[in-house]
Structure 1
Amino acid sequence: MAMAAVDLAARAGAEPASKPLPGAWVALAMLTFIYVLNFLDRQLLAILAKPIQDSLGVSDTQLGLIGGLYFALFYCLISIPVGWLADRSNRVKVLSLACAIWSAATVACGMASTYPQLVVARMSVGVGEAGGVPPSYAIISDYFPRGQRGTALGLFNLGPPIGAAMGIAFGASIAAAYSWRLAFILVGAIGIVAALVLLVLVREPVRGGLDAPRADAASTSASAKAGFGETMKMFVSRPELVLAALGSGVTQIVTYGLGNFTTLFLMREKGMVLEEVALWYALVVGIGMSAGIFVSGRMIDRFTRRSRKAYALLPAATLALAVPFYIAFVWAPSWPMALLFLLGPTFLNYFYLSSAVTLVQEEVRPEQRVMSGALLLLVMNLIGLGLGPTFVGAASDWFRASHPDNSLQMALYTLVPFYFVAIGLFLWLARVLGRGTPSPIVGGASA
């Protein structure tokens, strides 16, 4: 490809690019659509929890395990070899293959007739989705220049709220009109088609083509192959990267623990039905999460030009603001009031995402971006996705003996302390960033 022929060595001493590559917005739109499908597939289990429970007779603990620990183990562990492969090959092709795999596995979920079959299908979804997000982070970072990546990654990170909202509206509507199985089958079929369209519309950009020359000029070639051990050692030796991952992971204990049980909570303990979930809960998620993630990306681009500490202070502040809204949501005596309070957490809970992703992509070498993104997701999801739903499901079953009518409410209250742990980790990160640790890329923001 013509773009692949760009040589970073020829850019030595030049200013970093200020404009996106041709086709950047088409690529961003397509990658975001793939991310929408990624998250839609992942959220269908939570959205259709009650009809699945009624059909297969599974407990809250079993739902928590299949949506949490079982899924996370495969999703996180496979992401490391996928990240290594993508850093050394064509990232667009890796993403296309991953999308096809998780979409086929989603179809299999709709055909499962027993809990073990559903477990195997969901694990297979995790295997495919492991190759979805890390390559996309790196592709976007090579299509958009520094100073615009926060906005671009913020737009890309609209995938989860759009996917969640569409999943709620589409999945609940299909389940109410037909069956929960058909929802899985239709979404999976759309994903298989999208995997093929991706190969046609998106070209592989040159690694690091829009970056300024790096301080570590020993590896100036954009085609340099970063070793697995080298990238792993770099990541764990950088306290700002580790703290960003840990803070995000603890935040995800709240977001995944809540997200995987909100529909079941609203239906079982607040009295909603699927048709109401498809409209009102979908609106809350679509508006709240989308606004939060988009605004966070814009704020990160703006405030990190002044200080790198903004990568940490923004999520710390918004999580602190979210706590009273979250408590009010869990307490609310009716579902309309609960959804009104839920707008607060759905807007404020997700500022960490664009912040952590942008920080990691800005702070590592171009040939280490996919692997570093995979390591970020490994820590985030093993902690958040692995523990959040599993913890809430087990807590709900434990509280059922003493609170048979509101066991999920009691379980959701137990997530509040995790807010404060996450806030503490982000404040620690702000302190580290404030020390002025130099970025390996020339022109990095100062503290």
Structure 2
Amino acid sequence: MSRLSPLLRWCESAFGGPARTGIVLMFGGVLALASADIGMVGALARPLEAEFGISHAELGLLATVSSGVGALVALPMGVFADRVARVRLLVLTVALWSVALIFGGIAPSYLWLLLSRLALGAAVAASGPLLASLLGDLIVAEDRAKVYGWILTGEMIGAGVGLIVGGGVGLALSWRYGFWLLGLAGAGLGAALYRWLPEPARGGPSRVPPGAVEIPQASPVTLRGAGAGADRSEAGQAWRSLAGTFGLLLRVRTIRLLVVASSIGYFFFAGLRTFVVVFVMEHYGVGVGELIGLVVAVGAGGLTGAVLSGRQTDRWLARGHSNARIIVPAVAYAATAVLFALGLLASTVPVALPLFVGGAFMLGAANPPLDAARLDIVAPWMWGRAESIRTVLRLSAEAGAPVLFGLLADWLAGVVGTTYGVNLRDTFLLMLWPLLANGLVMLLARRTYTADKQAADAAARARGAP
């Protein structure tokens, strides 16, 4: 315990006190599980292809099915996030996640493994709306990008753990142990959520100030009693209608732009983490030990980008730069495409590595301000449903990415006839073009973000939010 104390003290200082430390660690753990699972599939590419006799496209399908199922159920999960006890639902989905991973580890056939991953989709679909809604009620708007930055490091840590655990354990023992280890980690996380995360009140009474020891207890707030006149209004009728709610959300131009931008970013990340292990080992001829070092270095770049981006964006926002949460992701996405392209064109690891680290830094820097901006422009009682729209598009992109990356690499192998490593390099280069365009798309949101944020704040005040 004495060895952990300095680390815990550092976490409490960095995250803003014991209560916020618990929130960051638990929420980051949820994101880490999902990312580790997909990263592990990529790390286990060779053992899985050898054992089940599958192609690169069929390997990508293992990552696709869970994301595809998640996209189908994300909208109802958003409704649940706005209407039921969110912590209890989060615990149940993490438990389902763990069981699915353990059953996947005993799969005797490719079909069994494929079917076991369907259950993972439900957990992936639930985590996005639930975490967004909970975070909005736990963290004040001014600090959300910073806290999101720490939480989103879970995605990158999870991807690295999946690659390292999958590559190390899978090659040393069996690919099955990688699935079992993640399943046990999920069970521990579910127990931690059940034990230490109370259900916060909706609307702000449970928000955790910096330095707080525990999450404040408060009576539930519905945010629906603004008066009979509001209930009889056309807008009030639309809020109560599920179809009307999603229609209202999608008519907000800023929401559409931010959702599309986020989905394109995750599309590239999903394809990258599925095939990066095979690419690095084939193209650069590195072994497992060198691969782990490269993963750690690139992952550290992504972590640093997420943390510094969230913190600095909130500082710029406090200084009056109202579009900071739009400008930072726009620049980051464009820079990611340029840096990764230069790294892919490099022929040696010493030249490519700094460029990949820089690209990972920029890719990590895009998400914290982008996620905080989405909460800014939506009223609190709609956070779950708004996030479910983003989750549908994000998971659809993540579902399509591994298969599309795999199909494109297979097609290049048949048409161009180059080595697999070169085919994957060319695949990555082609898929960077949407990421470059993403930066330009984000800039369009500058014209509407501030007005939409002010409208969401006014609606929240009218319905009793503090």
Alignment TM-score, normalising by the size of structure 2: 0.83
In structure 2, what is the equivalent of residue 433 of structure 1?
449
In structure 1, what is the equivalent of residue 12 of structure 2?
none
Q: Distance in 1 between matches of 2:111 and 2:157?
A: 30
Residues 164, 285 of structure 1: 8 Å contact kept: no
Q: Distance in 2 between matches of 1:441 and 1:197?
A: 33
Check 1:437–1:362 CA distance in 2 against 1; reply closer, same or farther (3 A cut): closer
**Does structure 1 residue 145 correspond to structure 2 residue 161?**
no
In structure 2, what is the equivalent of residue 80 of structure 1?
75
Check 1:215–1:243 CA distance in 2 against 1; reply closer, same or farther (3 A cut): farther
In structure 1, what is the equivalent of residue 234 of structure 2?
none
In structure 2, what is the equivalent of residue 157 of structure 1?
152
Residues 303, 364 of structure 2: 8 Å contact kept: no
| The one of 304, 307, 311 aligned to 1:298 | 311
| The one of 359, 375, 378 aligned to 2:373 | 359
Residues 102, 124 of structure 1: 8 Å contact kept: yes
In structure 1, what is the equivalent of residue 254 of structure 2?
240
Q: Distance in 1 between matches of 2:140 and 2:195?
A: 24
2:404 partner letter: F
SS of 2:455's equivalent? coil
Aligned pairs for 1:236-385 (under 5 A) are 236-277=250-291, 279-305=292-318, 306-382=320-396, 384-385=397-398
Check 1:355–1:208 CA distance in 2 against 1; reply closer, same or farther (3 A cut): same
For residues 67-114 of structure 1, the C-alpha deviation after alignment (integer angstroms, 9 at most, x for no partner) is 23x232211221221221121111001110110111111112222232
Aligned-residue identity in percent: 23
Note the C-alpha offset of 1:393: 0.8
Moved more, 44-53 or 232-241: 44-53
| The one of 39, 56, 64 aligned to 1:60 | 56
For residues 113-146 of structure 1, the C-alpha deviation after alignment (integer angstroms, 9 at most, x for no partner) is 3222222122221122211232112212211112
**Does structure 1 residue 106 correspond to structure 2 residue 101?**
yes
**Does structure 1 residue 45 correspond to structure 2 residue 41?**
yes
Check 1:215–1:131 CA distance in 2 against 1; reply closer, same or farther (3 A cut): closer
Note the C-alpha offset of 1:218: 4.9
In structure 2, what is the equivalent of residue 392 of structure 1?
405
For residues 335-364 of structure 1, the C-alpha deviation after alignment (integer angstroms, 9 at most, x for no partner) is 444333210111101333212211121222
Residues 28, 155 of structure 2: 8 Å contact kept: no
Q: Any unmatched runs of 5+ in structure 1?
A: 1-18
Residues 332, 439 of structure 2: 8 Å contact kept: no
* Equivalences, count: 420
Check 1:234–1:338 CA distance in 2 against 1; reply closer, same or farther (3 A cut): same
SS of 1:208's equivalent? coil
Residues 33, 158 of structure 2: 8 Å contact kept: yes
Residues 328, 338 of structure 1: 8 Å contact kept: yes
Alignment TM-score, normalising by the size of structure 1: 0.86
More helix as a share of residues: 2
1:133 partner letter: G
Note the C-alpha offset of 1:287: 0.4
Note the C-alpha offset of 1:28: 2.9
Check 1:122–1:274 CA distance in 2 against 1; reply closer, same or farther (3 A cut): farther
Check 1:367–1:110 CA distance in 2 against 1; reply closer, same or farther (3 A cut): same
Check 1:157–1:232 CA distance in 2 against 1; reply closer, same or farther (3 A cut): same
In structure 2, what is the equivalent of residue 3 of structure 1?
none
2:346 partner letter: A
In structure 1, what is the equivalent of residue 417 of structure 2?
403
Residues 309, 430 of structure 1: 8 Å contact kept: yes
1:420 partner letter: L
Aligned pairs for 1:170-249 (under 5 A) are 170-210=165-205, 217-218=226-227, 227-249=241-263
1:61 partner letter: A
